[in-house]
Chain A
Amino acid sequence: MVKYLAKRIFYLVLTLFIVTTITFFLMKLMPGTPLTNQAKLSPTEQQLILQQYGLDKPVWQQYLSYLANAVHGNFGTSFQFSDQPVSYLISSRIGPSLLLGFQAMVIGVLLGIVLGAFGAIRKNTWVDTTTTIISILGISIPSFVLAILLQYFFGLKLRAFPIAGWSGFMYTILPTIALAAMPLAESARFVRTEMVDVLNSDYIELARAKGLGKLGIIYHHALRNSLIPLITIIGPLAVNIMTGSLVVENIFAIPGIGEQFVNSITTNDYPTIMGLTIVYCFMLCVVLLITDIVYGLVDPRIRITGKRD
């Protein structure tokens, strides 16, 4: 276990290193500097500004110092906010994003499990059809369309929820729904397929033959065994939520990192883009690591030795 963990963490670090390196050199290829008013500055002033951002040194030196700083969680200074460290920018805005992402994941997956399970148990009835329709819609309607519609109808027309902003639980509901739709649909589909398989398997037949109650069978045997594989799609779902958060946060004016990421792109705030890229990778790596470990713990068929397949 320790060996496996060490290996995984080594790969995590390697991944982050590669990502950092690639991002750094990509950003160096892009036009644009922190100078917004280049034309009117004297060469001395331009030099000084570049110096403040550490952009006057040769690229390899910039790279090394960026790496060294990044290890300490220092991603440089934002171009957009003057004198504001990128790390502060991220840390002060990551809260809402994490909260929304977590809420969307939990609600999406739990509701998905319920829907998928019902669909499987009542296979080929109207229940099954309804859940299938819901999950197909959830996968097919892009989150940005859903967010706009939710805001318009539930925010403006019905006044049931705040239209946008971030001050309290009420404000999280619409964006959470917009973000949760995809995980909900995906996990409902997944659980349904798994559970149909499980319900057809021999040990369920055996349990039935032993005279166990229907609910008991579903709850103790079918559901459990269908849920274990669900852990493997948590990673992809997290990617999904991250993607969605870029527009959903923008539409609902949530002060999170997704909104900031889009904002940094349109303002050419390269240090922030780089910092956020690394943070996104880190979060995804951690989610993948955790799901792998949990999977190894709950599935007796998989022994953690560092080898899969």
Chain B
Amino acid sequence: MKLSSVVKLSTVGLSSALLLAACGNSSQESKSKTIQWQESANLPTLDVSKATDHVSAETLSNSNEGLLISAKDSKVAPGVAESYKVSKDGKTYTFNLRHSKWSNGKPVTAKDFVYGWQRSVAPKTASQYSYLFDHVKNATEISKNKAPVSSLGVKADGDYKLVVTLSKPQSYFKYLVTMTPFFPQSESAVKKFGSAYGTNSSNMIYNGPFKVTGWTGTNDSWTLTRNKEYWNNKATKIDGVKFNVQKTPSTALNEYQAGKLDAIKLVGAQQVGQYKNSKEFYNAKQASTFYLELNQQKDPAFRNVNIRKALSLAINRQQFTKNTLGDGSLPAVGYVSPGLASRNGKDFTKDAYVKSGVDYNMAEAKKLWAKGLKEVGKKGLNISLLADDTAAGKNTTEYLQTQFEQLPGLKVTNQNLPFKSRLSRSQNGQFDIVATGWNGDFPDPITFLTLFTSDNSYNNGKWKNAEYDKFVNNAEGQDANNTDKRWNDMVQAEKTLMNDQGIIPIYHQAQPYAINTRVQGVQFYPTGSGLDFRNASVK
């Protein structure tokens, strides 16, 4: 090309670009019945057996449906199962399924559940959530390849009756069946799509209120579109929900203010502060606790209870959540998060409250610290504090560092790593103190409490307490069918953990949202999937 033509072409191109730019000023706000929802991460999969993250859970729990679905106040509502019965010994569940259809028009039958569950448990699927089935008969043996998949304790009795056999009673089993690995899966669909099953929106079939469309497997947006085959389609009031991945919180806020997004996650004290008193603000409570684990294997000093208590007392949780995080998170009241479970109208955390475990008292902390150091025969400690490299993770380490270093002789260095690196380090015991979080899977305190039994793989600090183990084992075993005794076991377990300061709880995370007032009726649940558009409407 001759130079002159390059210059000419570029002049034309540039001027037309500017012209177009000037014309494009008409940004119109969407008045459609599709909700524009911000998602902060990509959708990794639509395979219900393989979904482990919150993004796929939020999508799948609206596009697919299990036997039961989550409902308000830690209850469950009928899903594909119209009703269910539990046997006296708590070991057999019988579900009566309604006549419903997949998005391809084929009926959803009990066989789809049997196949789906077997697929989730089968070792070759490599579902990272297969442990949730551990109470179902033979599930543990199957995952270790010691029993055939067909021996799983779930059987179809005709097309519309499902019988589940548990190896021991599990009072919270009803919550488990609302989760994605327990969803039905059509064998013919799995076979048809083969290894591409669930890798894009057309290689999947749906039985929930919405179908997923427009997901190529890697792109940054996808849509939940009304599923006409859904059994309760007439109750759906919206056309759909478009998820838009927006990882930069400030950009998301800009887009929200420009009316491009109907709902965004608010991040940080400033964004929350701006909306806190507005009608658009919604603080979604989460069954989540962030706590510190002290590595007793690497640092023997942490085996001293006074040192553990001193560290806990040095944290002003009120100040940290209010001033530093400022995002609606609550100061920790214990290990199990508040609002998760209650008995006779009294929250679990009230029954099991141990003040000294979550109190702030610097003077007392210094006293215990000196005492503890003397007992272990040390002048001081040099520790590193490991946490996520998220904004909240950095806030945590920076705040704790200043608080901890007020204890004489304690030197803290911070280490903030990406989530997966942090996880693998904490699991391999490569840390002194790690700040880690736990989100309850279902609304029962046991989802938290099993983590700190002596041999649990999430017990990274290796805190061991025989009494604690006993209480947890009783709740899961001999007292499983006795509500009161079981409750009491769990209360005692929590109290033991807090009195011994096995871990140091810091705060209970919340997820604040700004939601355009035209959107109504979106349900948030503190556990499991978290998000439900079944009753959502648009003005």
Contact = CB atoms under 8 A, between A and B. Distances in A.
**Do A and B have CB atoms closer than 8 angstroms in the complex?**
yes
Contacts of A169: 20
Nearest to A298: B3
Contact of B17 (A41, A49, A173, A223): A173
B10 interface: yes
B10 A251 contact: no
B532 interface: no
Contact of A44 (B145, B245, B428): B145
B143 A45 contact: yes
B144 A44 contact: yes
Interface string A30-63: 0111011111111111001100100000000000
B206 to A, nearest CB: 18
B126 A48 contact: yes
A80 B21 contact: no
A197 interface: no
Nearest to A164: B251
A143 B427 CA distance: 38
A253 interface: yes
A227 interface: yes
A164 B246 contact: yes
Contact of B143 (A44, A92, A111, A166): A44
A81 B457 contact: no
Interface string A239-258: 00000000000111101000
B538 to A, nearest CB: 21
B254 A40 contact: no
A31 B430 CA distance: 11
B27 interface: yes
Given A83-B196, A163-B255, A42 B143 contact: yes
B220 A166 contact: yes
Contacts of A291: none
A31 B126 contact: no
B290 to A, nearest CB: 18
A267 B420 contact: yes
Contact of A266 (B7, B218, B260, B389): B389
Interface stretch (B45-53, B94-102, B279-287, B522-530): B45-53
B3 A81 contact: no
Interface string B204-235: 00000000000011111000000000000000
Nearest to B456: A39
B129 A37 contact: yes
A34 to B, nearest CB: 9
A152 B420 contact: no
A88 B200 CA distance: 12
B10 A84 contact: no
Interface string A203-242: 0000000000000000100011001000000000000000
Given A110-B10, A170-B20, A253-B245, A81 B44 contact: yes
Interface string A157-173: 00111111110011001
A74 interface: no
Interface in A70-84: 80-84
Contacts of B427: 38-39
B258 A156 contact: yes
A40 B128 contact: yes
A40 B421 contact: no
B153 interface: no
Contacts of A43: 144
Interface string B13-49: 1100100110011010000000000000010110100
A31 to B, nearest CB: 5
A263 interface: yes
Contacts of B21: 160-161, 170, 173
What does DSSP make chain A's interface, helix, strand, loop or mixed? Answer: helix
A31 B199 contact: no
B274 interface: no
B418 interface: yes
A227 B2 CA distance: 13
A223 B248 contact: no
Contacts of B339: none
A107 interface: yes
A81 B418 contact: no
Nearest to B47: A82
B425 interface: yes
B198 interface: yes
**Most B C-beta atoms less than 10 A away, residue of A42, A162, A268:** A42
A18 interface: no
B83 interface: no
B496 to A, nearest CB: 22
B458 interface: yes
A83 B199 contact: yes
B220 A253 contact: yes
Given A165-B260, A173-B21, A33 B218 contact: no
**Most A C-beta atoms less than 10 A away, residue of B25, B197, B248, B389:** B248
A148 B250 CA distance: 9
Given A41-B128, A48-B123, A83-B50, 17 more contacts: A36-B52, A37-B52, A39-B427, A39-B458, A42-B123, A42-B140, A44-B123, A45-B130, A48-B126, A80-B42, A82-B45, A84-B45, A106-B10, A160-B21, A165-B255, A169-B20, A253-B247
The 6 closest A-B pairs by CB, nearest first: A39-B457, A37-B128, A40-B131, A82-B45, A268-B420, A49-B126
Interface of A: 31-33, 35-45, 48-49, 52, 80-84, 88-89, 92-93, 106-107, 110-111, 148, 151-152, 155-156, 159-166, 169-170, 173, 219, 223-224, 227, 250-253, 255, 259-260, 263, 265-268
25 contacts: A31-B428, A32-B421, A36-B423, A40-B457, A41-B143, A42-B140, A44-B145, A82-B50, A82-B198, A83-B198, A84-B199, A88-B218, A89-B217, A148-B250, A161-B21, A164-B255, A165-B244, A165-B260, A250-B247, A253-B220, A255-B218, A260-B218, A263-B247, A267-B419, A268-B420
